[in-house]
Amino acid sequence: MWLRPYVIAILAGFSILWIAIAWALVRGAKAGKRRPRRGDVTAKGPISHQE
């Protein structure tokens, strides 16, 4: 009986963290697929390194 409140709180916290991580990963993957050209340009010739 004493562990139930803690278990519920821990499960809720982990579920929120997992949802946030999954949403961030999905959002990042979509952003990377939508604009791969900019990523390639920056990866092939970074301005900071050239300067």
**Cβ 44 vs Cβ 51: under 8 Å:** no
Mean pLDDT, rounded, for 27-35:
73
* 3-state SS, residue 45: coil
- The 10s digit of each residue's pLDDT in 4-29 is 888 999 999 999 999 999 999 988 88
pLDDT band with cut points at 50, 70 and 90 for residue 30: confident
pTM of the model: 0.45
pLDDT at 2: 67
Who wins on pLDDT, 34 or 30?
A: 30
Residues 6+ apart with CB under 8 A from 39: 32
pLDDT band with cut points at 50, 70 and 90 for residue 51: very low
Total count of residues recorded for the chain: 51
* 3-state SS, residue 27: helix
